[in-house]
Structures are given as C-alpha cells and as structure tokens.
Chains A and B, each alone.
Chain A
C-alpha cells in the first residue's frame, strides 16, 4: 500500500525522481568503474608475474636458496615423473641454473645462466615471445645463448658475438664455457633481464656436470583457482623439496595486489559517501518542498511511521531503478575499455614505458565485485533516505499546512 503511494509519488515529481535515478546510476557506474580499473591493474600485474616471470609454482632443493649454488640440485627424472600428467598442471619447465660472471672487453657482470629445454620453457612462459631480434634457442644448435637487449647494450654485444661465462659447477669448482648469441630478448622486468641469460639445458649440463639433474622446476597451471590444491598436493608428494607459490616467489606482486585492494576499499567508501550526500540533499529538498502535502496527509490521519516509510520507499524504489542503469553503463564502459585499453602513458608521460612496464590497463569487472558494489550502493541509498524521512517525521501538520 505504502509502496504503491510511493511509486505514484515518484512520477508526480519527475525532476526529483530523475535526479536521484541518475545519482544512483552515476554512483553505481563510478563504483564499478573504479573497481574494474584497480582489478584490471592487479590482474595485469599478476599475469606478468605468473605468465612471464615466476610461473604459478616453483620447486627447488631446500638449500638452493639465495646463493643458488649448483651443487644443490634435484633428480630430473623423478621430478618429471611427479609432474607429468599431474592434474591441474598445464606445462612445466625443468631448468639447470648456475650463477657466474660474464666478462667482455666492456666490463664484467654477475649473471644467472638458465639452462632450459626450449620447447618446455616456451610452453611455460612464452620466452620466444620476448625475442626482439634474432632467433629463439634451438636444441639442434650447440652452445647458443639468448641475452637481453639491456645486457647487450651495456656490454656492447650483438647477435653472432661469442661470450665467455665463468661458472661454479656442481662440485663447486670454477669452470668456463663459450656461447654464441643467437637472439636478444626483452621482458617487462628490466632488472631481471639484466641478470638472466638463457641457454639450452644440455649445453649447460655438460659444462657444470648436471646431466639428469635440475635446479629449478617452474609450473604453469591450467587455472589460477587450482593453485592451493595443487600446491598442497605437491608439498605432500615432494616432502623433501621446497615448493613455493608465486606470492612467495614475487612478494612485490603480492604487495602491489594488496595495496590495490586497499585503494579500492578506500575509494569505494569515498564514492559511496559522495553518492549518499547527493541523495540526502535531493531528498531533503523534495521533502521540504512537499511540506504542505505531507502536512495534509498527516492532518487527514496518516500515521507518522507511514510517512517515514513512504519517503524511504520512494528513495529505495528510485535506487532500484537507478542501479541497473548504472550497472549497464559500467558494463558498457568497461567492455569498451577492455577492448581498447586505457593508455596510462597519456596520463603519466613516458616514465612508465621507460621501465618496460605495461602502460595500458585493461579494466575488468568480475561478477562478485559487481554484486558487492550493487549491495553497497543500495545500502548507501537506504541509509541516505533515512535522514530526509526523519526530517519529514518532525513536521507538525498545522504548521506544515500553513507554511
């Protein structure tokens, strides 16, 4: 009954109704849009970390740790047996790793030599996709190396040059080997690029005596969601090895994701406040303008609580109309921006690109966030309706009619 009166009231004062519908729609749009931007930023950072840097899970010898000594390695065959056809694992790459020095006439650098199976590495993190010049590693050709454009620039190297690396082998003795540069690569992470060079695993194994062994296993899963079950499963299967998730392998990414979550929270609160202020103001004006009408209703015997209920239900009805409109607008904006991307370098200048960072964000709107935003907007609208309705309660019928 009250709802019907409220519904009819909506169309008596069209200007007010439209304003509130638009406010709610705008609030809903803004909330979803901000959510989508931060979610998109987090996702792109996470994708880079998982798809291009550390993969979902890595396995090492427990003592391999920071010093990365070649003598702490694992049996490659039993690892392969454990990982092959494991449910949830899309691809994995077994690597031999050795730290050492790369000396040229233009200077020397500490480097990390990664011995990889080109096909497995490609399946795990698309290394070939980063090759800017020259060719990806080819298992048929012996002693080829892939170095980053950054390192090549610093040490004045080019494709076809021969480099000599000095390494510690599995027994801890110093050894050295020569490789010919077959290609130059560049990833999003400049500091890592400077450190890592890639060779075929068999070549490195010959050099440091790690045939049949592996220092690192990197796993790419079919889905992000299965990370926890696969992780705890692996820990049980390989109790004597160190199994780590990407959050531990790339703590910076975890930090960025956490701070983006906090920003979303804070900004949502601000947007909801802005929305509530808008609704309160408009509804208050509407109530004050209707003083006479409300006075008459009271005078003819309408209960105060019914008046309160009427004003609140008017706002709620308007919010229920406005929210889907805003949601639709948000969906359309996000959908469109997800295709074109937002180029941050327009806002930030060239700073970000200098670091090889992904400068384009692709907003994304996951369902659970949409529903959460919807709930929050409706709650804010409801709360914002209470004050004007309370104001209406305090009107005294006689004065109201006279005024």
Chain B
C-alpha cells in the first residue's frame, strides 16, 4: 500500500521528481567520472614509469641491488622460470644481463650501462620499439646494438657505425666487443638517454664470459594492482638466495610523487562528495518547501505523521534508485569515450611530460567496480539525506503548514 502510494506520488508531480532524479544521476555521473579519471591517470602514470626501465617486479640474486656487479648475477634455471610461469598474474618474464662498461667510438669514450636483453619480451615490457628514433629493433640472434641517442651523440656515432664496449667479464678478465649500431633509442629520462646500450642476451653472455647467466628477471603483470600478491607468491616459491623487488622499491623518487598525488585525490573526492550530497539535499529541501500544504492537508485529514514520513522516505528511496540507474547509464558512454579519447594537454605542460617520455594524456579506466561502488555510495548518501524530510514531516503541525 505505502509503496504504491509513494510510487504514485512520484509521478504525480513528474517534473519535480525528474529534477530530483537528475540531481542524483548527476551526482553518480560526477563521482564515477572523477574516480575513473583518477584511477585511470594513476594507472597510466605507473605504466609510464614502469615502462621507463624497471618493469613492475624484478628478481635478482640476493644483494644485487645493493652492489650491482656480475658477481651478484645468477644462473638461468628452471626453478626461477617455473616460479615466474606459475605465479598467477605474471604474463611476461624477461632475463637481463646488465653491467657497467666503457663505450668507445675510437676517439671518444664514455661510461655506459649495457643491458643484454631478450628483444621480444623486453619490447613488451618496456616498450622499446616506440623509442626507436632511427634504425630497427633488435632480433634475438642479431649481432648488433641499440644505443641511446644522447650517448651516441656524445660519442659522435651514427646508425651502422661500430661501437666498442669494454669492461671486466664474469671471471675478472677484460672483455671487449665490437658491434654495429642497429638503431638509436630516444629516452625521455636524461640519465637513461645518455648512458644506455642494449644488445641481445646471448651476445652479452658470450662477451662477458657468463654463459647462461643473468642479473635480473623482469616480470610483466596482467594487473598492476596485484603486484603485492605476485611479490608474496614469488617470495614463497623461491629460495632465499633471490631478492624480489617492486618498482616502488627500485624508484623511491617517483613513488613519492605518486603517493602525494593519491593523497591529493582523496581530499578532492571528499570535497566532491560534500558538493554532490548538498546538490541532492537541496532538491529535497525544495520538495519539502513545495509540499508543506499537501502534508498539512494530509495531517488535517487525520493521517498519522509516521505514515506520511514513511511514504516520503520511500519516495526519496525510489528517486535515488532511479537516479543511480540513470547516472550509471549516462556515465558509461562518457567514461568509455574518455577511455578511448583521453583528455590531452598541450603547451608547456606537455613539454615537461614529454621530457620524461610520458604522454601528456589523462585516460579514464573502464571498470565495472567503480560504477557499482560509486552508485552504492550515492545511494547511501540518498538514504541518509532522506531521513531529513522524514524528520521534518514528523514535526509538522497541520494548521501551521497549511498557512502560507
């Protein structure tokens, strides 16, 4: 009975109900767009940062990160490969053999970081191909190198010139190799751009006299949010002679930046919730003001105040629910559009971003969970706010309300 009454009341004054619904719908819309934008930007930033160099998670021989030498390398083995393969959430694993070396053009010499890679896997992990400025990506059995463009410039070398690499091999003997430059890479971060050289893993192992050895196993994850679980699982599976590090531990500087962004985002959300709940509240207040006479009449006719209160409460709940559904329906295409065509910024802001090799784009993330969560949250707000008109109705006096 009450439900029916409430439902009819809603459609009695159609425009007023539609306005309240649209207030709720716009609240859901704004909350969903804001949260999916925040999450999207955050994920995008992490993806950018991680694809700079480190990947999400790395496995090293224990002590390698503190002292990055070949002595702290490990032998490529099945236990490790199996652990990586069998840990849920890991979609890629690439070995690297890294060492510091002197790069020389014959006339000029520079210190550099040489990375032996599995070209295919590395490309998916740290997106090398888009960074190639000229030349071509390495293939697994090539006998050539990719050189960061800043380093090549300092050495006065160009595409197809010969690069000499000199360092100490695994057993301490001097190791030297001459290789043609197959491509030049452009890194956003200046320190990578001025000191990085890539070559195929097998060539590096042969050159350093470290057959079948690697310094790190870089993992690519399906969902960055599952990183802690992956790290725990790997730690459980692997014996203590390995260390498992995530990008946050490897790049504390950028982590600081991200953490402070997140904190700012929480404050922002708090402020937004305040605004949208007031938006809903104001339509309820308007409704109350308009219907004073009607409620007064009902009271005068002998309807119990608690009964009126219940009807009003049910009305608000219906309106909130319909509004939430409309809000989801409206926000879906917007979030989808902003996911496919992210916000993009130009000018000075873009230049600073590009210096780091980041795209100046702000995509949203399209996750069902966000829609459900935000709609639920707004519904809760609606329910709490609906208590106010009930309270007012309970305190109403028939005669006073009918006076205008």
Contacts and interface: CB of A to CB of B under 8 A. Distances in A.
Contact of A26 (B30, B274, B287): B274
A259 B343 CA distance: 13
B256 A30 contact: no
B285 A19 contact: yes
A15 B264 contact: no
B286 A270 contact: no
B171 interface: no
Given A347-B263, A352-B259, A355-B256, A258 B275 contact: no
Interface stretch (A219-227, A274-282, A306-314): A274-282
Interface stretch (B158-166, B276-284, B295-303): B276-284
Contacts of B255: 351, 355
A34 B268 contact: yes
Given A19-B285, A107-B67, A270-B34, A357 B190 contact: no
B264 A348 contact: no
Given A275-B275, A281-B22, A285-B19, A357 B282 contact: no
B12 to A, nearest CB: 13
A255 B285 contact: no
B275 A107 contact: no
A399 interface: no
B247 interface: no
A30 B19 contact: no
A141 B22 CA distance: 75
B259 A351 contact: yes
Contact of A274 (B37, B275, B285, B362): B275
Contact of A288 (B15, B37, B261, B264): B15
Given A27-B275, A30-B274, A289-B290, A270 B33 contact: yes
A355 B275 contact: no
A15 B355 CA distance: 53
A37 B267 contact: yes
Interface string A283-306: 011101100000000000000000
Interface stretch (A228-236, A261-269, A375-383): A261-269
B268 A344 contact: no
Interface in B168-212: 190-191, 194-195
A254 interface: yes
Contacts of A16: 286, 289
Contacts of A38: 264
Contacts of B66: 107, 154
Contacts of B23: 277-278, 281
B111 interface: yes
Interface of A: 13, 15-16, 19-20, 22-23, 26-27, 30, 33-34, 37-38, 41, 45, 66-67, 107, 154, 189-191, 251-252, 254-256, 258-263, 266-267, 270-271, 273-275, 277-278, 281-282, 284-286, 288-289, 342, 344, 347-348, 351-352, 355, 357, 361
Interface of B: 15-16, 19-20, 22-23, 26-27, 30, 33-34, 37, 66-67, 110-111, 190-191, 194-195, 252-257, 259-264, 266-268, 271-272, 274-276, 278-279, 282-283, 285-290, 343, 345, 348-349, 352-353, 355-356, 358, 362
Given A275-B275, A281-B23, 8 more contacts: A190-B252, A191-B253, A251-B190, A255-B356, A258-B352, A278-B275, A357-B256, A357-B260
